[in-house]
Chains A and B, each alone.
Chain A
Amino acid sequence: MAHIELHNVAIEFPIYHARSRSLKNRLIGHLSVGGRIGEDAGHRVCVKALNGISLAFEHGDRVALLGANGAGKSTLLRVLAGIYEPVRGLVHSEGRIAPLFDISLGFDPESTGYENIFLRALFLGMSRSEIRERRDAIGAFTELGDYLAMPLRTYSSGMKLRLAFAVSSHVDAEILLMDEWIGTGDMAFIERAECRLAELVGDAGILVLASHSEEIVRRTCNKAVLLRQGTVEHVGDVDDVLHVYKGMK
């Protein structure tokens, strides 16, 4: 059973070139956008990207992460993916994770579409045999046809998105993590991608999606987390949280 638990998690990014005192004084304080800037244990300037985050997600949760720019949505996704190990607190997760953050992961512009499917799939943790098995299904999903034999540098950004999404959505994952991704796809593809996503979430355990689009959030999610300057402001139903979020603005 997929399961994620965060307990009192803090993430701080040290800023090494902000050593001088005057710069420090200017930086430390409260800002309206982004994580709080403060000092870490060694008196260095640091961005407190997340602080005191405690959350638990269970099988079947489709969670939207909401919040202003710099509220910590992407950082939180990376914590869930195990990329940032917290400075304080505990993370416990069970289940294979498929991150869909950056469409360019694993891509090499000089290689063909097929080769890039292979490369990206490797990064996402598929074995060689799994990739061979699914290569055709992935290729078909992209609808790129003969373009798959062309170098990636000839692709438009929408075509790259198709390729990236196709690979990521063919990983057998129990936990799907997505950062605002759908921008450059055309209408037909967005529709298909959303269908695929629904299918995946059906058999995958948990979906966590950072998004600014109310429409996507309402359609896809059954739970929401509102972040504000690196802390959890509100957790609950999508309607509930959206209401609070709008009130905040």
Chain B
Amino acid sequence: MGMLRTVIPAQYGNAEDRGRRAALSRKPPTQVELAVHDLVEGACQWHIWGTLGLHDIRQRYRRSKIGPFWLTIGMLVMIGSIGGLYAGLFQTRVADYLPHVAIGFVIWSFVSGLINDGCNAFISEQGSIKQVRLPLSVYVYRVVWRSLLIFAHNLLIVLVVIVVFSIWPGWSILLALPAIVILSLNGIWIGLLLGLLSTRFRDVPQMVTTAMQFVFFMTPIIWQPESLPGRAWVVTYNPFAYVVELVRAPLMGTATPLHVWFFVVVLTFVGTAIAFAMYVRYRRRIAYWI
């Protein structure tokens, strides 16, 4: 095992500190370096977040016979009832409507899971953060990984829908893969940013949960954009519409409009930049806030 070297600098060093700094063998790293180190080192500790994420799921269903597939069943029931009922309400054919709802719902639960759990990335790790020094990003990677695992279980629904309604999306289905990767990358910055804000302001998780309920109804998941003529702005100005469409289109076999990709890529860069700036500034405060 290699030696661990840790140098933790002061935010404001007085003159005396600076004199002392010269005496220490090397210059303390800046907050930027420490934040980058935290993120990279955290990613390298995949054996920790990998195991913990798996453990989260196993542990939730430890004494149940079919375990995590209860998630899948729960969603199947939801989709079945909404799909059947609302198809009548919207006067569309079940064969058109149900795949749209099913696939949209699976993606939505992934996205909202990333956001809601991201808020608690640090708060729920209170016990560990105060006991041991690990890169804090480990806890964010754990959330993203766990969401991905749940999503993988729910992909079974997508498969069933594709078979039952015999939609063969063609090779464009492969585009779903980079789409999922890019959503996961967004999950990382969201976890860092919301996790940090939630630790400091404990109302944030509740606020986010409430907002997400609202967004759910504003996003074309249980309704199709075509059934809202004249209100296209609801879709045009809703970032979540793009995020959901990015994964749904390849799975449904429709072409993903280029501007959807463009929007999500820009979102990823902008979000990452903001989250990184906040993380550089406040990472060291998280242990104090918790």
B-binding residues in A (CB < 8 A): 5, 7-8, 13-14, 78, 81-97, 99, 101-102, 104-106, 108, 110-111, 118-119, 122-125, 127-128, 130, 172, 174
**B24 interfacial by beta-carbon distance below 8 Å:** yes
Compute the total of residue contacts between A and B using a CB distance below 8 Å.
114
> Which of B9-17, B215-223, B226-234, B258-266 sits within the interface?
B9-17
A-B contact pairs, 13 of them (CB 8 A): A8-B20, A85-B8, A88-B14, A88-B17, A90-B7, A90-B13, A90-B24, A92-B8, A97-B133, A106-B128, A111-B59, A122-B48, A174-B3
A84 and B13 contact, CB distance less than 8 A: no
Chain B residues with CB below 8 A from A88, complex form:
10-14, 17
B287 and A96 contact, CB distance less than 8 A: no
B134 and A123 contact, CB distance less than 8 A: yes
A-binding residues in B (CB < 8 A): 1, 3-14, 16-17, 20-21, 24, 28, 47-48, 51-52, 55, 59, 62-63, 127-134, 284, 287-289
Question: Could you tell me the distance in whole angstroms from the C-beta of B16 to the nearest C-beta in chain A?
Answer: 7
Among A13, A90, A118, which residue has its beta carbon within 8 angstroms of that of B8? A90
Query: Known contacts A105-B127, A108-B59; is A86 also within 8 Å of B133 by CB?
Result: no
Among A78, A82, A96, which residue has its beta carbon within 8 angstroms of that of B130? A78
Docked complex Cα distance between A93 and B4 (Å): 9
Among A94, A99, A127, which residue has its beta carbon within 8 angstroms of that of B132? A99
Docked complex Cα distance between A205 and B27 (Å): 24
B132 and A95 contact, CB distance less than 8 A: no
Chain B residues with CB below 8 A from A87, complex form:
10-11
B288 and A84 contact, CB distance less than 8 A: yes
Docked complex Cα distance between A94 and B9 (Å): 14
Chain A residues with CB below 8 A from B289, complex form:
14
Chain A residues with CB below 8 A from B12, complex form:
88
B127 and A104 contact, CB distance less than 8 A: yes
B47 and A97 contact, CB distance less than 8 A: no
Q: From B47, which residue of chain A is reached at the shortest CB distance?
A: A128
Docked complex Cα distance between A176 and B284 (Å): 23
Among A7, A95, A122, A125, which residue has its beta carbon within 8 angstroms of that of B20? A7
Known contacts A85-B8, A90-B13; 13 further A-B pairs (Cβ under 8 A): A78-B287, A82-B6, A82-B8, A83-B130, A83-B131, A83-B132, A85-B287, A86-B8, A91-B8, A94-B3, A105-B128, A122-B51, A123-B128
Docked complex Cα distance between A141 and B63 (Å): 29
Among B10, B47, B48, B59, which residue has its beta carbon within 8 angstroms of that of A89? B10
Docked complex Cα distance between A241 and B160 (Å): 73
Among B17, B48, B287, B288, which residue has its beta carbon within 8 angstroms of that of A123? B48
A172 and B17 contact, CB distance less than 8 A: no
Question: Could you tell me the distance in whole angstroms from the C-beta of A241 to the nearest C-beta in chain B?
Answer: 25
Chain B residues with CB below 8 A from A105, complex form:
127-128, 131-132
Q: From A100, which residue of chain B is reached at the shortest CB distance?
A: B131
Docked complex Cα distance between A110 and B62 (Å): 8
Question: Could you tell me the distance in whole angstroms from the C-beta of A160 to the nearest C-beta in chain B?
Answer: 14
Q: From A12, which residue of chain B is reached at the shortest CB distance?
A: B288
Docked complex Cα distance between A215 and B42 (Å): 41
A95 and B3 contact, CB distance less than 8 A: yes
Query: Known contacts A105-B132, A122-B52; is A90 also within 8 Å of B4 by CB?
Result: no
Question: Could you tell me the distance in whole angstroms from the C-beta of A18 to the nearest C-beta in chain B?
Answer: 15
- Most chain A beta carbons < 10 A, residue from B10, B14, B47, B132: B132
A82 and B133 contact, CB distance less than 8 A: yes
Question: Could you tell me the distance in whole angstroms from the C-beta of A210 to the nearest C-beta in chain B?
Answer: 14
Docked complex Cα distance between A106 and B3 (Å): 23
Docked complex Cα distance between A223 and B35 (Å): 35
Among B14, B24, B284, B288, which residue has its beta carbon within 8 angstroms of that of A92? B24
Question: Could you tell me the distance in whole angstroms from the C-beta of B43 to the nearest C-beta in chain A?
Answer: 16
Q: From B284, which residue of chain A is reached at the shortest CB distance?
A: A85
Query: Known contacts A110-B62, A122-B48; is A101 also within 8 Å of B17 by CB?
Result: no
